[in-house]
């Protein structure tokens, strides 16, 4: 049982490049989330999907787009990467909105 799987684990981009971070969960959870973690800032919510077919903005959505491809997969896209997007990105899922979150191990992104 893999839980929440994020790919890639590490990525280096040049300013202006685009990329998609992938997230998949095998727990049949309804809700999925994308967070970024910066030193001293804790985790900040980028986007979330309460259920398949819906997505909503979190605290820091600017510069990102998301797709809830199906119940298992929730991807995060950076259309034009900026150095300010250098961070560790975590995907999480939960059975419902009122239950514990299960996290992946993160994607470390550096934008130069």
Partner 1 sequence: SQQGEEDPQALSIQEGENATMNCSYKTSINNLQWYRQNSGRGLVHLILIRSNEREKHSGRLRVTLDTSKKSSSLLITASRAADTASYFCATDAFGSGTYKYIFGTGTRLKVLA
Token digits for 4? Answer: 């929440």
* 34 near partner 1, judged by CB under 8 A: no
* 89 near partner 1, judged by CB under 8 A: no
Which one among 13, 21, 33, 76 touches partner 1, defined by CB under 8 A?
Answer: 33
- Whether cis (ω within 30° of 0) applies to the bond prior to 8 is yes
Q: To the nearest whole angstrom, how small is the minimum distance from the Cβ of residue 4 to partner 1?
A: 8
What is the Cβ-side half-sphere exposure of residue 31, based on CA atoms within 13 angstroms?
A: 15
* 5 near partner 1, judged by CB under 8 A: no
Residues in the chain, total: 112
* 29 near partner 1, judged by CB under 8 A: no
């Amino acid at each position: 049982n893999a839980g929440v799987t994020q790919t890639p684990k590490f990525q280096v981009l040049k300013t202006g490049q685009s990329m998609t971070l992938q997230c998949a969960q095998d727990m049949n959870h309804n809700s999925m989330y994308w967070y970024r973690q910066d030193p001293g800032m804790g985790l900040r919510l980028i986007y979330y999907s309460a259920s398949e077919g819906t997505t909503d903005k979190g605290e820091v959505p600017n510069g990102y787009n998301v797709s809830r491809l199906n119940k298992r997969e929730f991807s995060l896209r950076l259309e034009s990467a900026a150095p300010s997007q250098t961070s560790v990105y975590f995907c999480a899922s939960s059975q419902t909105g009122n239950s514990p979150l299960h996290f992946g191990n993160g994607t470390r992104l550096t934008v130069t």
